[in-house]
Amino acid sequence: MATQSQTTAAFSQQLGKYYATYTGTFVAFVILLAILEWAGVPNRVIGYLFVFFTLAVYAMIGVMSRTTQVSEYYVAGRRVPAIFNGMATGADWMSAASFVGMAGTLFLLGYDGLAWVLGWTGGYVLVSTLVAPFLRKFGAYTVPDFMSHRYGGNFARFLAVIVLVSCSFTYIVAQIYGTGIIASRFLGMQFEIAVFVGLAGILVCSMLGGMRAVTWTQIAQYIILIIAYLLPVIILSTQKYGIPIPQLMYGQAIQDITAREAQMLQTGLSTAAALKPHIIPFQTYSPLNFFGIILCMMVGTASLPHILMRYFTTPSVREARQSVAWSLFFIFLLYFTAPAYAAFSKLEVYTEIIGRDVTQLRPWLFTWGELGLIQICGKNAASLDAAIAACKAIAGHPGVVRLQDFVINTDVIVLSTPEIAGLPYVISGLVAAGGLAAALSTADGLLLAIANALSHDIYYKMIDPNASTARRLTVARVLLLIVAVLAAYVASTRPADILAMVGWAFSLAMAGNFPALVMGIWWKRTTTTAAVLGIIAGFGLCLFYLITTRYFPQAGVTYFGMSSLANPVTGAPLVDVAKVMADPRWLADVPAVAANPLQSRVGWFGLNNINCGMLGAPLGFLVMIVVSLMGKEPSKEMQAFVDEIRKPRGQTVIQEK
């Protein structure tokens, strides 16, 4: 079909023009704001203009992409070219945690933080080789669609929906929380109001146009987030080393950090206990947990429905594979820059803050100290006087800032880089717009995954298979609204555990989805009973391990033989379990609270609870293999179906209306 590929090429070219114009307009807008700032427009106004301009653009794309066709709503009409789908996936993937938190994690943990960088990139190899092209050939609207078709109907579908909702909902709450934090920090809005502004930003993108609108806005959001991430650190690298390639120049910074670390220890500016040398491995995570995080994040990537469904939108199986490669390329641009941010910030902190007389601290610190994000001598560094007073209160304090006196929230690393480099406020506004784009785009993808599972899988496939197109789309939009408002409500209560739960989503997806997806495609012998039992066993074990170690560690110790995790450096137990268990305040039947000294510090085999997928997924595979071999071979039709999804050529296996 030469004509089809010609139209695709023409469409691609046209899209290229649109987005090039869009990028040019955005750059012009940034320059305009820079001029306004120079002319004396206050920072607050610049911040507002940034946020409202970008939200208005997303809303415009959202409204222009509205649709009344089911296939447009669920899979963007399956005509998103590989490279653009790659960009959209990049935005879908990179959340507030990647944009704002990743560099900070690397700052704090040094080498061990790289487990997250590796885990959140390498998973795309599994997506491309094992899962996504086959699901594209199948032609589903949702991941539970595949489970239901391969594993005998609605029970498997229902299980898949449970897995999907449990790994996506906490994740979306964290994104909305992230938009609230960014909006409140840069616009000075009240957090609870900022959350609902973020909610509006999410809804305008997804409500009218579903996947189609989300796709085109995610591409726009990717462009903003990548410019916002790269620009400050490129300027910083040029200022410090004269070459605008931070990814190459931070090698020097690492050398300087290592030299400074030794110096700080010698001069008493730091104790060995307070210092984690930047390049020395396995100080935060034991090797088992380090490689466990890499594995769980990678396999989780290949199991998360909001990522897999992005590859349902490409025009062909071939483009789905290419698109995975492009996705990783666009994600890579941010992830291989994050360690540069971490190194530059760390050098700045080690040389400009640590060892400096408390009375000589630089003023950028106090804007973050006021928000409680930087502490000096155990108190929020809201002003110079506050910092001096706090240090005076410590007996025998030498009057210079020591490493153990200084505490910084990980979010500050990226957000404060423009100020450290002494850049105008417009760059800070740009970074805020980028962080907002990262959070909104991920929230959109997740929201759509949840709402589609409820409207397509639960409502249309299980409750009312005769529903008309108009009715299905109405239900989809209403459910989308309900899920979004619910997530925003939960975010506005500032749940304490929410950030920890994002990591859990990967392990839960890994345990609940990965074995069933891979076995369904790669082993024809897998039976329905085996898959259903495998999902329940794997997901169940992972969930059990998470909940027990975090909320009921005493019960874990008493009934399930759990013991203390080990300190990765010394190998000694993290907590004295026997002592805590003997303490009447922590009786076994008291539900765990945040102060519980055993929380997340006990387990089996020294495994962190974030790595529960390491227990669940192998069990899932084992159950599927054993039960399959005990049962009867799947029917000839089912085997023919598996053959069919393995071959790229031909129509999609199912033709959705």
Partner 1 sequence: MESKDQAYWNDTSRLMWTTLAIWFFFGYVVHMFVVPLNKIVILGFPLGFYMGAQGSLIAFVVLLFWFAKAQNNVDRKHGVAEDE
646 binds partner 1 (CB under 8 A): yes
Q: Which of 653, 212, 166, 165 has the alpha carbon at shortest distance from 455?
A: 165
Q: Does 332 bind partner 1 (CB under 8 A)?
A: yes
Q: Does 322 bind partner 1 (CB under 8 A)?
A: yes
3-state secondary structure of 640: helix
Q: Tell me which residue of 190, 169, 117, 99 sits closest to 497, measured CA to CA.
A: 169
Whether residue 346 contacts residue 256, with contact meaning beta carbons closer than 8 Å, is answered with no
Shorter beta-carbon distance to partner 1: residue 16 or 251: 251
State the minimum distance, in angstroms, from the CB of residue 114 to partner 1. 4
207 by DSSP, 3-state: which?
coil
Query: Would you list the DSSP string of 456-484?
Result: IIIIIIII-TT--HHHHHHHHHHHHHHHH
Interface pick for partner 1 out of 125, 193, 486, 500 (rule CB under 8 A) = 125
DSSP state of 279: T
User: For residues 5 and 474, which CB has a smaller minimum distance to partner 1 in the complex?
Assistant: 5
Interface of this chain with partner 1, residues 4 to 33, rule: CB under 8 A: 4-5
Residue 281 contacts partner 1 per CB under 8 A: yes
The burial class, CB within 10 Å (0-12 / 13-18 / 19+), for 5 is exposed
Binding residue count for partner 1, defined by CB under 8 A: 52
Strand 374-376 with 379-380, pairing: antiparallel
Question: Is 653 one of the binding residues for partner 1 (CB under 8 A)?
Answer: no
Element (H, E) at 260: helix 246-266
According to the binding rule CB under 8 A, does residue 321 interact with partner 1?
A: yes
Member of 317, 508, 530, 598 binding partner 1 (CB under 8 A): 317
Q: How far apart are CA 176 and CA 169, in angstroms?
A: 11
Query: Is residue 645 within the footprint of partner 1 (CB under 8 A)?
Result: no
121 binds partner 1 (CB under 8 A): yes
Query: Which residues are within 8 A (CB) of 140 and not within 5 positions of it... i.e. 6 or more apart?
Result: 146, 149, 312, 654, 656
Return the number of the residue (1 or 39) whose C-beta is nearest partner 1.
1
Considering beta carbons, is residue 33 or 115 the nearer one to partner 1?
115
Q: Does 243 bind partner 1 (CB under 8 A)?
A: no
Using the rule CB under 8 A, give the single segment among 126-134, 192-200, 347-355, 456-464 that binds partner 1. 126-134
The residue from 248, 262, 389, 569 that contacts partner 1 (CB under 8 A) is: 248
298 binds partner 1 (CB under 8 A): yes
Handedness of CA 382, 384, 386, 388 (dihedral sign): positive
Measured CA to CA, the distance from residue 219 to residue 653 in angstroms comes to 29
Q: Which residues, listed in sequence order, are joined to residue 407 by a DSSP beta bridge?
A: 375
Beta strands in 94-229 (DSSP E): none
Q: How far apart are CA 142 and CA 459, in angstroms?
A: 13
219 vs 294, which CB is nearer to partner 1?
294
- The only residue of 174, 254, 453, 638 in contact with partner 1, by rule CB under 8 A: 254
Given candidates 573, 648, 653, 654, which one binds partner 1 under the rule CB under 8 A? 648
What is the rounded CA–CA span in Å between residue 208 and residue 481?
11
Exactly one of 16, 42, 251, 398 binds partner 1 (CB under 8 A); that residue is 251
Q: Which of 38, 52, 155, 336 binds partner 1 (CB under 8 A)?
A: 336
Based on CB atoms, which residue is closest to partner 1, 56 or 262?
Answer: 262
CB of 38 to partner 1, least distance (A): 36
According to the binding rule CB under 8 A, does residue 580 interact with partner 1? Answer: no
* CA dist., res. 216 & res. 91, Å (int): 11
Q: Does 324 contact partner 1 by CB under 8 A?
A: yes
Cβ 99 to partner 1, closest distance in Å?
Answer: 17
Of residues 95-114, those binding partner 1 (CB under 8 A): 111, 114
Binders of partner 1 among 437-466, rule CB under 8 A? Answer: none
Nearest to 256 by CA among 347, 349, 354: 347
- Smallest gap from Cβ 524 to partner 1, in A, equals 9
Binder among 356, 392, 494, 647 for partner 1 (CB under 8 A) = 647
| Contact between 267 and partner 1 per CB under 8 A | no
Tell me whether residue 535 is exposed, middle or buried, using C-beta atoms within 10 angstroms of its C-beta: 0 to 12, 13 to 18, 19 or more.
Answer: buried
Three-state DSSP state, 144: helix
- Is-contact 349 161, C-beta < 8 A? no
Cβ contact 528:151 at 8 Å: yes
| H helix or E strand, kind and range, residue 379 | strand 379-380
Query: Would you give the DSSP letter of residue 213?
Result: H
Q: According to the binding rule CB under 8 A, does residue 252 interact with partner 1?
A: yes
Q: Interface with partner 1 by CB under 8 A: which range of 288-296, 360-368, 542-550, 626-634?
A: 288-296
Q: 370: how many CB neighbours lie within 10 A of its CB?
A: 14
Min separation Cβ 650 and partner 1, Å: 8
203-to-58, 62, 526 alpha-carbon distances in Å: 10, 9, 40
Least distance (Å) between residue 133 CB and partner 1: 8
* DSSP bridge pairs for 374: 408
Q: Phi and psi for 292 in degrees, rounded to 5? A: -65, -45
In whole angstroms, the minimum distance from the beta carbon of 399 to partner 1 comes to 33
**Contact track, partner 1, 601-640, x by CB under 8 A:** --------------------------------------x-
Shortest separation between residue 323's beta carbon and partner 1, angstroms: 9
Residues that bind partner 1 (CB under 8 A): 1-2, 4-5, 111, 114, 117-118, 121-122, 124-126, 128-130, 133, 247-248, 250-255, 279, 281, 287, 290-291, 294-295, 298, 316-318, 321-322, 324-325, 328-329, 332, 335-336, 339, 639, 643, 646-649
